[in-house]
Amino acid sequence: MRTVITFIIVFGVIVLVHEFGHFFFAKRSGILVREFAIGMGPKIWGYRDKTGTTYTLRLLPIGGYVRMAGNGEEEVEMTPGMPISVELDQHNKVVKINTSKKVQLTHGIPLELTEHDLVDALTISGYVNGDESEVVTYKVDHDATIIEPDGIEIRIAPRDVQFQSAKLWQRLLTNFAGPMNNFILAVILFIVVAFMRGGVYDSNSTTLGDIQADSVAASAGLQSGDTVLSVDGEAVTTWSEMQTDIQASPDEEISLEVERAGEELTINLTPAATVSGDETYGMIGVSPALIETSVFDKIASGFSATIANSLNIFQALGRLVTNFSLNQLGGPVAIFQMSSEAANSGLITVISFMAMLSVNLGIMNLLPIPALDGGKIVLNLIEGIRGKPISPEKEGILTLIGFGCLMLLMIFVTWNDIQRFLF
């Protein structure tokens, strides 16, 4: 249960922060945000505010999404002959259209639809109360709502509030805002970790900080404050050098020269084999010593840690290009597994994991792949260079291809994760 809660909180917060970036800048740009959903799947609860945004809580407590008018979202399918009902205001303008069988309008007028235009002309026509002798046409209010088949009430989307009607720079910023929020979240979380630890790790030395209980290091007699001078006779002066040498020897005995209270000791130990992706590393269960730092240094560490994690992800992407393997990728199953490990290691580890995952999501979403934010940004830049946007048909085809490829990759990755972690 602790793992499940950790997974929901970590994954949910990261995705919601990402979507809030799109939501905030879309609102600022005059784009109608029709729905801001928390979770996925069937609706549990919904509320529509005065600006026309419907906030919904959905059954599966994982992530969320933002529906922006005209941004490739699926419109309610309304076809000739479809039975609907409409509600009028005192000026006989339609203020509500009901396409759902789950909802009944108290003052609704039954209408057999013949045609409609809810984008430009803002009209809807049909036979009233089954009278097919006359087609009645109503004007539709600019801020009218439509009740979808699942019972969710959202605003209609006239052209002036659609995504494509916003200025180019506003659309570009709206697309970039999601990943940007992930980077901001990562910086904040890394700062929180620095304050919780009381400082930042000293990566420029090999002095040991915390020794994990029941670890290889603890069993071998290593102590907090020990300084590692060499690994198997090879001198080390930074944490990364020592880490690299130890990780290169999983399940192989190595010798450490250690300085303790002015004396030099030789400690032999065998790093435990730890599998990450398709690679196996040696781990002994130690962390660097903390540097007593000022408030400014702790805040600065949030930025430096975010940059360092970003560089690590770019290096991983480079390895993925030169030597592709599904084991180098991870989906929801892998995230759940890592959430379990983080939950068992304490709150600081959970927050650090959330920060690293937030950086990962930000960078992955910026990849120039259709259907991702990065692909949309590329289209924005092409529009800026050409002076006109790519046709909606071509953009739709590109997005569909990109989405299909991503879904196919996700299926393969998820199945591979299930085989790796569950069998």
Q: What rounded mean pLDDT belongs to the chain? A: 87
Residue 207 DSSP class: B
The upper half-sphere exposure of residue 144, i.e. CA atoms within 13 Å in the direction of its Cβ, equals 26
Contacts of 158 (CB under 8 A, 6+ apart): 118, 119, 120, 122, 142
The pLDDT of residue 98 is 95
Q: What is the pLDDT of residues 202-229, one digit of tens each?
A: 778 899 988 888 889 999 999 999 999 9
Q: What is the pLDDT of residues 34-85, one digit of tens each?
A: 899 988 888 888 888 888 898 998 888 777 889 998 876 656 788 999 999 9
SS3 113: strand
CB atoms within 10 A of CB 357: 24
Split at pLDDT 50, 70, 90, the class of 344 is: confident
Kindly list the domain boundaries of the chain, sorted by start residue: 201-291
Q: Percentages helix, strand, coil for the chain, rounded to the nearest 5?
A: 45, 25, 30
Residue 4 DSSP class: H
Query: Cα separation of 359 and 337, whole Å?
Result: 18
Query: Cα separation of 102 and 85, whole Å?
Result: 12
Q: Decide: residue 292, CB within 10 A, 0-12 exposed, 13-18 middle, 19+ buried.
A: exposed
- The model's pTM: 0.80
Split at pLDDT 50, 70, 90, the class of 274 is: confident
Multiple choice CATH, 201-291, 3.40.50.300, 3.40.640.10, 2.30.42.10, 2.40.128.110: 2.30.42.10
Give, rounded to a whole angstrom, the gap between the first and last alpha carbons of the chain: 21
The pLDDT of residue 160 is 93
The pLDDT of residue 223 is 92
Angle at 411 between CA 406 and CA 416, to 5 degrees: 125
Query: Cα separation of 332 and 62, whole Å?
Result: 10
Query: Is the confidence at residue 166, as pLDDT, over 80?
Result: yes
Positions annotated as catalytic residues are 19
Contact at 8 Å (CB) between 47 and 30? no
